[in-house]
Amino acid sequence: MVKKKESLTNLFPVTKMVKIPVYSTIRYENGKLVGDIEGYVDTPIEWLQDDIKRKEH
């Protein structure tokens, strides 16, 4: 019987969390995107970097 891996293989370390605004009703007015901020979401800064930097960890 083969034992399955029980750990995730695509994890990366989180070094810093940042708050990203969550918008609702985004619209285009006078050449700009405008929206109402509903709240904020904590997101690892690594998610905002490009794929090349993320794979370097």
More confident residue, 19 or 50: 19
Q: What is the pLDDT of residue 45?
A: 84
Q: Give residue 1's pLDDT band: very low, low, confident or very high (50, 70, 90).
A: low
**Total residue count of the chain as it appears in this document:** 57
Coil, strand or helix at 54: helix
- What percentage of the chain's residues is helix, strand, coil (to nearest 5)? 15, 45, 40
Separation between Cα atoms, residue 22 and residue 33, nearest integer Å: 14
List the structure tokens of 6. Answer: 């029980």
More confident residue, 24 or 50: 24
* Burial tier of 23 (Cβ tally within 10 Å: 0-12, 13-18, 19+): middle
Q: What is the pLDDT of residues 11-48, one digit of tens each?
A: 777 888 989 989 888 899 999 989 999 999 998 888 77
For residue 41, what pLDDT is reported? Answer: 93
